[in-house]
Amino acid sequence: MNSKITVATLQHAPTPNNLPASLARLESAATKAAAAGANILVVPECSITGYNQPLKTMQQVAIRANGSTSKSIAALCTQHNIAIAYGFAERDAGQYFNTVQVINAAGEVAGSYRKTHLWGDLDRTLFTPGDTLTPVFEIAGWQIGLLICYDIEFPENTRALALAGAELLLVPTGLMHPWRDIATRVVPVRAYENQFYIAYCNYCDTEADLTYEGRSCIVGPEGADLARADQTETLLVATLDKQTITDNRVALPYHRDRLPHLYKSLAE
């Protein structure tokens, strides 16, 4: 069992409807992250295809989860011996989803998640919601959970994944102005109350009429930043240790002390 894992997050400006630019950026980031010893690289919500686009454009640029782009990213993973969690607009049987997929260092799909909590008219105009949380899966000996952007603002999501065994939560996001508090306040609280690590990866700069907040972060089980970006393009790298999870769960046994019979109405 690996007690440590090194995580990288790439905060970048969007390149909507420009797949070659997105893949070139991902290759550069994978090279740098692997050189820094990272086991996994995370990029923002819909990083590969772009996010804030007209419906017709999004449908044209959307890709299949198992198509040629996935194969290109799998080749990067094996070349650099790194897992990559990438966001994209997914096309599947006439429907479109806001998806994150994780390919491991062997070039195999380890996990995939479709955003369940769609944000406002922007998401609802473009995407069909996913209908389930993805089971936790293993990367480099760690149990990984997935959410996308607005999903993390619902505490039930993070608690469900923590109780399912997640030790590290990956959250590609497209957090825009004026909701900086989600990155600076809510994300640390989610890590603290669930006593696990969160890698929260945002855009910077603008995309159409959106101004992104940046502030990507890697946060520990005690709610403290291990790494935090400002509002510029940044590759964050941090090494995580399972012992910190254990120590925090012993000191504050939130999971042990839960009283599920009191919370049944939350599932209604």
Which structure tokens are listed for 165?
């065994």
Residues 6+ apart with CB under 8 A from 184: 215
Euclidean distance between CA atoms 63 and 86, whole angstroms: 12
Name the active-site residue from 46, 77, 149, 217: 149
CA dihedral of residues 202, 222, 220, 99 (deg, nearest 10): -50
Candidates 45, 90, 207, 213; catalytic one: 45
- The answer to whether residue 115 is catalytic is yes
**Separation CA 3–CA 241 (nearest Å):** 6
156 catalytically annotated:
no
Q: Pick the catalytic residue: 77, 115, 167, 213?
A: 115
| Extended beta strands in 45-122, E state | 83-92, 95-103, 109-114
Quick check: is 138 catalytic?
no
Q: In the numeric block, which tokens belong to residue 131?
A: 């209908």
**Residues designated as active site:** 45, 115, 149
